[in-house]
């Protein structure tokens, strides 16, 4: 008959939480072309928060490319702290604590959300440069199977 909630055991320190909200990013800028990304000198800027209280984080962005010229993963290294996160080419997971501990968050962590947008931006930039890239990322922010869609010449 009691409606008193049963206390969680001390071994379960994570308190009750509201359902996880998708990451909302104000802006994502990838200031680079595809060759910058491959050489590891691209910069990814992630702006989160809202118009009055925003937080800007810069990352070095590098693509790991297989010997056949396909992007196999992305490396993000945060400017301020040097923290590194690896994401697979389709941005379907991330090594950061947010994704590891809140894997059920719709759309994933900020890095996954930002990288999907960055991939689209890179695709737009690359679409005018047929020598570098044959195919470009898809429309919208749907996850893109880069290994299928990106083919580097040479």
Q: Closer to Zn ion by CB, 109 or 136: give it.
A: 109
Q: Closer to Zn ion by CB, 113 or 126: give it.
A: 113
Query: Nearest to residue 74, comparing CAs of 122, 107, 17, 106?
Result: 122
Min CB(25)–Zn ion separation in Å? 12
Distances (CA, A) of 92 to 32, 35, 88, 110: 22, 23, 6, 12
Q: What are phi and psi of 84, to 5 degrees?
A: -115, 140
Span 93-152, contacts to Zn ion by CB under 5 A: 94, 96, 99, 109, 111
Span 76-95, contacts to Zn ion by CB under 5 A: 94
Q: Closer to Zn ion by CB, 39 or 100: give it.
A: 100
Q: Closer to Zn ion by CB, 61 or 109: give it.
A: 109
d(CA 138, CA 95): 24
Q: Are 80 and 67 in contact (CB under 8 A)?
A: no
Q: Closer to Zn ion by CB, 62 or 111: give it.
A: 111
Min CB(151)–Zn ion separation in Å? 27
- Residue 77's DSSP bridge partners are 60, 84
d(CA 88, CA 70): 12
Min CB(50)–Zn ion separation in Å? 20
Question: DSSP character for 15?
Answer: P
Per 3-state DSSP, what percentage of the chain is helix, strand, and coil (rounded to 5)? 20, 25, 55
Min CB(152)–Zn ion separation in Å? 26
Min CB(132)–Zn ion separation in Å? 27
Positions touching Zn ion (CB under 5 A) are 94, 96, 99, 109, 111
């Amino acid at each position: 008959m009691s409606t008193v909630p049963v206390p969680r055991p001390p071994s379960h320190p994570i308190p009750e939480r509201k359902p996880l909200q998708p990451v909302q990013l104000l802006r994502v800028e990838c200031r680079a072309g595809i060759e910058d990304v491959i050489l590891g000198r691209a910069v990814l800027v992630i702006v989160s928060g809202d118009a009055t209280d925003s937080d800007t984080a810069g990352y070095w962005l590098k693509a790991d490319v297989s010997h056949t010229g396909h992007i196999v993963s992305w490396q993000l290294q945060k400017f301020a702290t040097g923290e590194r996160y690896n994401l697979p080419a389709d941005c379907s997971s991330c090594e950061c604590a947010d994704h590891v501990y809140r894997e059920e968050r719709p759309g994933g962590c900020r890095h996954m959300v930002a990288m999907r947008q960055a991939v689209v931006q890179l695709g737009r930039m690359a679409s005018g440069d047929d020598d570098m890239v044959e195919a470009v990322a898809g429309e919208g922010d749907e996850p893109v199977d880069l290994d299928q869609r990106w083919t580097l010449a040479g």
